[in-house]
A and B are shown apart, each in its own frame.
Chain A
Amino acid sequence: MNFLQPIGRVFIGFLGSIGRLTMFTGIALSHVVRPPWYPRIILRQMIEIGYFSLPVVGLTAVFTGMVLALQSFTGFARFNAEGAVANVVVLSITRELGPVLAGLMVSGRIGASMAAEIGTMRVTEQVDALTTLSTNPFKYLVVPRFIAGVTMLPVLVLIADIIGVMGGYLIGVFELGFNAANYLQNTWDFLTAFDVISGLVKAAVFGFIITLMGCYHGYHSQGGAQGVGQATTNAVVSASILILCFDYILTAIFFAAGG
């Protein structure tokens, strides 16, 4: 029966991780609603997540919009439906690709840096130093990142939506020969508020996931530089997988709600 031991060990380890993550999330959320808050740190994190992620998210969005226009034109041309390119571009970007790609890019940029920063603070006793200075590490390190992630991801995605649609517009008008006014009219006519809002809700959830994974893995890192490196990898991989999982779950919920 020895072959069952490693299976059981892995399973128990998995359950333990779920328990630790649930407790971490609960403690962190309980601190979100209780003072003191640190506005300067929240603002710094908002700038870090929102402003400094703009170039990478913007570039991702513009190229995605351009590729989407070209690919959908190729497909729709086979049954003479080229006019639907603008609709496909705007719906794909706002409902799906904007939030998911922005989430994945921010996960790589911000999730990794959070895990590395908090992990380094953990292994160099800076987290312990916070406690001895009567400062709760959750309030000082985790809560500002949560708030910044949940608020700035939707802003980033909104900007990514606009840039992505403009990428499709550039290809549609200058490469595929669409009339500029018609393209914009088609984009606007088929877009509903729900398309944009559902994307922004996804973005807020992804922002929570990215910051949760970055903080959780950083906070529990141990073993020096190697441990911090491992925490960074785990933060990015787990956030990316969870983003894709929750993307499906949220899409299914919106679908069931008639969206």
Chain B
Amino acid sequence: MTETRPKISLKDVHKAFGPKTVLDGLDLDVAEGRSMVVIGGSGVGKSVMLKCILGLLTPDSGSVEIDGVSVLGLPAGERDRVNRKVGMLFQSAALFDSLPVWENVAFRLLSDGTGRDEAREIAVRKLAQVGLRRNVGHLSPADLSGGMRKRVGLARAIAGDPEIIFFDEPTTGLDPIMSGVINELIVSCVRELGATALSITHDMASAQKIGDRIAMIYNGRIIWNGPADEVAGSGNELVEQFINGRTGGPIQMALRA
């Protein structure tokens, strides 16, 4: 097996908010062209980890590298260059309410100076890729259902043909059938682009569908990391309790703050 440089690499990442430690020495590597899914309960630091990679939060210590380049403390211009490799599907889709759907999808293209007609055509193609018709492009995000918003968010994430795509709870709030549709779209889009994907979710069906590998985060660290098809037989008590949704076990949910 050849050793290749990971596309995304986190080493000993710490992040605390006041007295609350969220990430406590987190290590994670994502190989190029692979799809990694990080699972874990609510409030264990999945979103914080993602925000640290995206530069939306700064870790207290540790390193975050993309393509072997440390992205912590990068000047704004260089950070922008890194972000141009990245697409992101937010949990709530985070579509811009003030813009019609097609401008949301083509936002990056328009910012980069692509003409409006050309950008609109690319947006229509990307919308078609996620199963939405041309006329949806002229709607306002407020007119869309939850599933359609996710699809538009996905179309926006892939519009710039990114090398890396992040998915934040892609199926949260969707019915099982729509969740399945979104999962299949994610798999097909990532495969077509040949992109590296990093998803966070607590939906096990989604994790097994979209991930080549699964890692579990607990108490601010990765406590298990392995192929997606081995998660059920991981032999790790914490992982088994989580994927089976058992209330009894080593993971104790805090019922009071």
Contacts and interface: CB of A to CB of B under 8 A. Distances in A.
Contacts of B97: 120-121, 126
Contacts of A125: 90-92, 94
Interface string A123-145: 01110110111111000000000
A253 to B, nearest CB: 36
A32 B220 CA distance: 40
A132 B92 CA distance: 15
A132 B111 contact: no
A132 B54 contact: yes
Interface residues of A, number: 15
Interface in A129-183: 129, 131-136
A201 to B, nearest CB: 32
Given A125-B91, A126-B96, A132 B83 contact: yes
B253 interface: no
B167 interface: no
A33 to B, nearest CB: 15
B254 interface: no
A47 to B, nearest CB: 13
A128 B76 contact: no
A216 B10 CA distance: 33
B56 A133 contact: no
Contacts of A117: 98
A125 B88 CA distance: 11
B94 A134 contact: no
Given A132-B88, A134-B111, A135-B107, 14 more contacts: A121-B96, A124-B94, A125-B92, A126-B94, A126-B95, A128-B54, A129-B88, A129-B94, A131-B55, A132-B86, A133-B83, A133-B156, A135-B108, A136-B76
Interface of A: 36, 117, 120-121, 124-126, 128-129, 131-136
User: What 7 A-B pairs have minimum CB-CB distances, sorted nearest first?
Assistant: A129-B94, A125-B94, A132-B88, A134-B80, A134-B83, A125-B90, A126-B94
27 contacts: A36-B111, A120-B97, A121-B97, A125-B90, A125-B91, A126-B95, A126-B96, A126-B97, A128-B54, A128-B90, A129-B88, A129-B90, A131-B55, A131-B56, A132-B54, A132-B56, A132-B86, A132-B88, A133-B108, A133-B111, A133-B156, A134-B80, A134-B83, A134-B111, A135-B107, A135-B108, A136-B76
